[in-house]
Amino acid sequence: MSIVADDKIKKTPADERLKKASVATTLLRRPELGAVAGLVLVTVFFLLTANPSMFTLAGIMNFMAPAAQLGILAVGASLLMIGGEYDLSIGSMVAFAGLVFGAALVVWQVPLSVAILIAILMAVVIGVVNSQIVIKTGLPSFIVTLAFLFILRGLTLVGLKWASGGATQLRGMKEAAAGSPLTSIFSGDAFQGLFAWLASNDLIAKFPNGTPQVSGIPVEILWFIVIALLATWVLLRTRFGNWIFAVGGDERAARKSGVPVVRVKTVLFIITALCATLVAVLTVLDAGSTDARRGFQKEFEAIIAAVIGGCLLTGGYGSAIGAFLGSIVFGMVLIGLTYTSIDQDWYLVFLGGMLLVAVMFNNVIRKRVTGER
């Protein structure tokens, strides 16, 4: 009898039914595996086919800038997708937030800080409206936010004509925002001093007159990185992150276990609207103008980036770092083709192919994780 008991105690730490998990299997369990593979594949492809200048500092900034604009949306979209919902209105939201922000600056002529605050408040309102309709009616978020895709795009057109006196473009934001201490956080390049120093020490490429070829890191890239890291921290290490997975995995089970489902979903819809607003502020200040086509089809690209990053269409599984990598894949392909002799219109073909492969791949991963039989 005591022998049996001893045996039992010794057995507890290592279970004989558990094969030693190799590094490979542990990696296979990670949702972002597909995105890493995709990124490696695309990098190798362009290393072989593209002009080498693509992978200089200037070239990298070139493809990271559009990757960042898309990526900020994609990270928000990935959180929402893990939470089991979609937001198809984020592309139109970029345009609408751009209009509100721009109009605040040049029509109402408020300071930059106030204009940003107005844009944020508007994003919160839209996020709450989206989420409450989805939650109260129980309709799929796909269809509810599809309605807002059109509503917000239409409102932007109408609003632009009103704000600009008949045109579909609004100008003059750069001038209106100049001088505010917030300008450097939302536009231009960061770390210019560092880059100048690097150039003067011949560590990075410079022009004949001594100024660096790349004057700094565009702020949108920093925003992109910070938001991806923050989202990853929230997902993997916080209570709210656990709730996101729970709500997306099985809403009813989550509620029964004490997860405040309504609150989680509302916050997630607000987050996607805020991400769209951030992109609007960044791009409007960058261009100094806004127009009705801003963010066109970005909702689909953001969802594709999230799917490439390992998010399941059914919710409950995915990663923000995956969406981050998926967006970089996007930026690389979009800009990379201009460094090759390949017709740029292959971009769309590539995009669709990538999505298809990613979805099939994720399906296999899901079966592996859930042990679906």
Partner 1 sequence: MSSIDTPLVEVRNLTKHFGSVIALNGISMVVKPREVLCLLGDNGAGKSTLINTLAGVHQPTSGDFIVGGKSTTFYSPRDALDAGIATVYQDLAMIPLMSITRNFFMGREPMVGFGPFKRMDMKFADDVTRDEMHKIGIDIRDPQQAVGTLSGGERQCVAIARAVYFGAKVLILDEPTSALGVAQTSMVLKYVNQVRNSGLGVIFITHNVRHAFAVGNRFTVLNRGKTLGTYEKGAISIDELQNLMAGGKELQVLSDELGGTI
Contact between 15 and partner 1 (CB under 8 A)?
yes
CB of 30 to partner 1, least distance (A): 12
Asked if residue 12 binds partner 1 (CB under 8 A), the reply is yes
Does residue 237 bind partner 1 (CB under 8 A)?
yes
Could you give the CA distance from residue 362 to residue 101 in angstroms, rounded to a whole number?
A: 38
Rule CB under 8 A: is residue 47 a binding residue for partner 1? Answer: no
Say which residue the tokens 């002009």 belong to: 51
Figure out which of the listed residues 180, 242, 338, 340 binds partner 1, where binding follows CB under 8 A.
242
Does residue 372 interact with partner 1 by CB under 8 A?
yes
CA distance 358 to 364: 10
Give 152 or 246: the residue with its C-beta nearer to partner 1.
Answer: 246
Of the candidate residues 243, 269, 330, 339, the single one contacting partner 1 (CB under 8 A): 243
Residue 219 identity:
V
Spatial neighbors of 256 by CB under 8 A, at least 6 apart, are none
The secondary element (H helix, E strand) that includes residue 171 is: strand 169-171
Place of tokens 């996101």: 244
Q: Which stretch binds partner 1 (CB under 8 A): 164-172, 245-253, 296-304, 321-329?
A: 245-253
Scanning 47-55, 135-143, 221-229, 253-261 for contacts with partner 1 by CB under 8 A, the matching segment is 253-261
Q: Contact 91/48 with Cβ under 8 angstroms?
A: no
Q: What is the DSSP letter of 190?
A: E
Tell me: does residue 27 bind partner 1 (CB under 8 A).
Answer: no
C-alpha dihedral over 203, 208, 212, 214, to 10 degrees? -110
Q: Would you mind telling me the total number of residues written for the chain in this entry?
A: 373
Figure out which of the listed residues 117, 205, 253, 364 binds partner 1, where binding follows CB under 8 A. Answer: 253
Chain residues in the site for partner 1 (CB under 8 A)? 11-12, 15, 17-18, 21, 233, 237-239, 241-243, 245-246, 249-250, 252-260, 316-317, 366, 369-372
